[in-house]
Amino acid sequence: MSTPTERATQWLSAFSAALARNDAGGAAALFETDSHWRDLIAFSWNIKTVEGRAAIEDMLKATLGSTKPSHWKIDGAANEKDGIIDAWFNFETAVARGRGHVRLKGDPKGAQRAWTLLTTAQELKGFEEKKGRRRWNGAEHGVHRDRKTWLELKQEDESTLGISKQPYVVIIGGGQGGLALGARLKRLGVPTIIVDKHERPGDAWRKRYKSLCLHDPVWYDHMPYLPFPDDWPVFSPKDKIGDWLEAYAKIMELNYWAKTECKHAEYDEAKKEWTVEVVRDGKPVTLRPKQLVLATGQAGVPNMPDYPGMKDFKGKQRHSSQHPGGEDWSGKKCVVIGSNNSAHDICADLWENGADVTMVQRSSTHVSRSETLMELWTYPLWGEQALENGISCDQADMIAASMPYRLMADPHKALTVEMKRRDADFYARLEKAGFKLDFGDDESGLPLKYYRRGSGYYIDVGASELICNGSIKMKQGQVERITPTGVKFTDGSELPADLIVYATGFGSMNGWAAQLISQEVADKVGKVWGLGSDTTKDPGPWEGEFRNMWKPTQQEGLWFQGGNLHQSRHYSQFLSLQLKARMEGLPTPVYGLPKTHHLS
């Protein structure tokens, strides 16, 4: 009987032969009826998932002429488990070198057909990063007058870019998303300026409440090119990650404009460029990039509620994003409206500082214990266990990317069943304390909730125990109004408060487009984040890809970069290649440009 590698090689040979003869139908016939092809810019110049043979054939008919794929070759040994063969392969297109992954299922007659296919562009031919054997020499050997040192060249670039020389890309936002993309573009030789209103890189973390730590583990959170040291803590404290991001900006030699606030941006359709008005250290500057990236975080503009009576409240009130810490609230009555990650963290912070804390839960919330979530989900792919099994961070990113979002629900439902079994007592105690739990719309748990909504969950790092033992009080219900001395609810009850924190989340990222560009452009782009179908048939709310993230939008020259550290690291690679290709004038015909999604 043939080996998994031999069967994968046979399938790849048949697939590449069909593509070489421009036989889109023949290539599509090599897929299962229920099949999924996820393409990260290699064929579509888009981040695109197509489902089923007909959609695959349509994409190939539209893209084969310009893509011209070739040189398909299995990379390493294929594996087989539960009747599914999975194999990695390399390939090329007319302009790029790519890497991909396929999962094959066999029919009763022994024929192999693709169930899932991932294709990714890894580098552009002729525009490769200057690394390895291509790295620059550094020293300019020989003797001649007017030679400039590395420092002089760096200072010259910093003093001219944005003044006498315009950047090709301007990135608004200098957090992990802006820095990750900036580093990718720097390596590709794309003139880029990152603008951020804070005094130093990393301040967006430093200025949060003092107890804040990342809830994701270190292996999941590396920045591009520069992984954390192997003694870095599993969960990064906010000031430590802030210092790391500041060092990263310096080490990666990024053009980072601190103390710079974007006031307005406008696109000139005729010139195909942006006019971006910023104030840098108190002085107005006009930038004219060809491409504008909003890296303002996965969350959009803070959702500050407008309850009746807020203006008459005699205490202090603020959105959770503005909460500096609980040091001043010992012995005071504090009400936190909301029940997701920030609400839990802030309640715990206030309790640690001696406050009388009540959490107001308006709708059910999913809670995962950190230890259980990491053991079942993160550690096998990103962690010491994965490293011991030879899975690097980059390989883990690719494995994660190889599974289309529509197919993620079932394995995560199984994970939820196991979490409920392991932590049954924990969940029972939470419910007994009056906390309303859910496990996602379809019992698929935290990861899918994050992908679909970006909210509605808490990774428990201690606050849940405070709820269970009554240290953090619970109040269920809807707010009717804010009184001068507290919060009144629709059931007629009232909570006295000296401090109200509105942990009420954030709007879509296109809220920043509305503020910085125009409401017209924000509406044209539509919703940003959340899984939504890009097909004209729009079969359901959870198919396809993230809306408008890391890929072309309805507004020419406008892009969105964000997400957690893993997403910022992984998808910045593909966004940077799209921007580099446009700078170099390579043809980038976009297949399946996402239609506008209205805010809802």
Nearest to 179 by CA among 238, 253, 286, 280: 253
How far is residue 10's CA from residue 526's CA, in Å, rounded to a whole number? Answer: 43
DSSP-assigned beta bridge partners for residue 366: 457
* 354: region left, alpha or beta (phi > 0 left; psi from -120 to 50 alpha): left
Q: Where are the beta strands (DSSP E) in 63-196?
A: 70-74, 79-81, 84-92, 96-106, 112-124, 169-172, 192-195
* Topology annotation, domain 4-124: Nuclear Transport Factor 2; Chain: A, (3.10.450)
Distance of CA 228 to the CA centre of its chain: 19
Read off the pLDDT of residues 376-399 as tens digits, 9 standing for 90 and up.
888 888 888 888 888 899 999 999
Q: State the pLDDT at residue 108.
A: 64
Distance CA 528, CA 548 (A): 5
Residue 530 region by backbone torsions, left for phi larger than 0, else alpha for psi between -120 and 50, else beta = left
End-to-end CA distance of the chain: 54
| b/e code 464-484 from CB counts within 10 Å (16+ = b) | bbbbbeeebbbbbeebbebbe
Residue 107 to residue 11: CA distance in whole angstroms: 13
567, 573, 577, 580 alpha-carbon torsion, rounded to 10°: 100
Burial group, residue 433, by CB count within 10 angstroms (0-12, 13-18, 19+): middle
SS3 105: strand
As beta bridge partners, residue 49 has: 38
Q: What is the DSSP string of 218-276?
A: GGG-PBTTBPPPTTS-SS-BHHHHHHHHHHHHHHTT--EE-SEEEEEEEEETTTTEEEE
Give the residue among 189, 170, 196 at the shortest CA–CA distance from 249.
196
- Where along the chain do the CATH 3.50.50.60 domains lie? 153-300+508-583, 310-502
Integer angstrom CA distances of residue 388 from 125, 252, 402, 569: 33, 29, 21, 22
Q: How many CA atoms lie within 13 A of 144 on its CB side?
A: 6
Nearest to 199 by CA among 281, 120, 138: 281
What is the CATH class of 153-300+508-583? Answer: alpha beta
| pLDDT < 50 regions, the chain | 534-542, 597-600
The residues with which 475 forms a beta bridge, in sequence order, are 360
Contacts of 474 (CB under 8 A, 6+ apart): 358, 359, 361, 433, 434, 435, 467
Residues contacting 317, CB < 8 A, separation 6+: 310, 482, 499, 500, 501, 502
Q: Where in the chain is the domain with CATH 3.10.450.50?
A: 4-124
Phi/psi at 200 (nearest 5 deg)? -140, 150
* Residue 472, H or E segment: strand 472-476
Cα distance between residue 581 and residue 290, in whole Å: 13
Q: What is the pLDDT of residue 298?
A: 61
Q: Shortest CA distance to 548 belongs to which of 536, 563, 537?
A: 563
- Show the CA angle centred on residue 138, arms to residues 136 and 139, nearest 5°: 135
The reported pLDDT for the residue numbered 263 is: 96
User: Is the CA virtual torsion 198, 275, 520, 568 positive or negative?
Assistant: negative
The SS3 of residue 59 is helix
**Distance of alpha carbon 466 from alpha carbon 337, whole angstroms:** 17
Can you give the pLDDT at residue 514? Answer: 92
For domain 310-502, the CATH class is: alpha beta
pLDDT tens digits, 156-211? 888 898 888 999 999 999 999 999 999 999 999 999 999 999 999 999 899 888 78
Q: Tell me the backbone φ, ψ of residue 80, rounded to 5 degrees.
A: -130, 130
CA 259 to CA 243: how far, in whole Å? 17
Element (H, E) at 371: helix 370-373
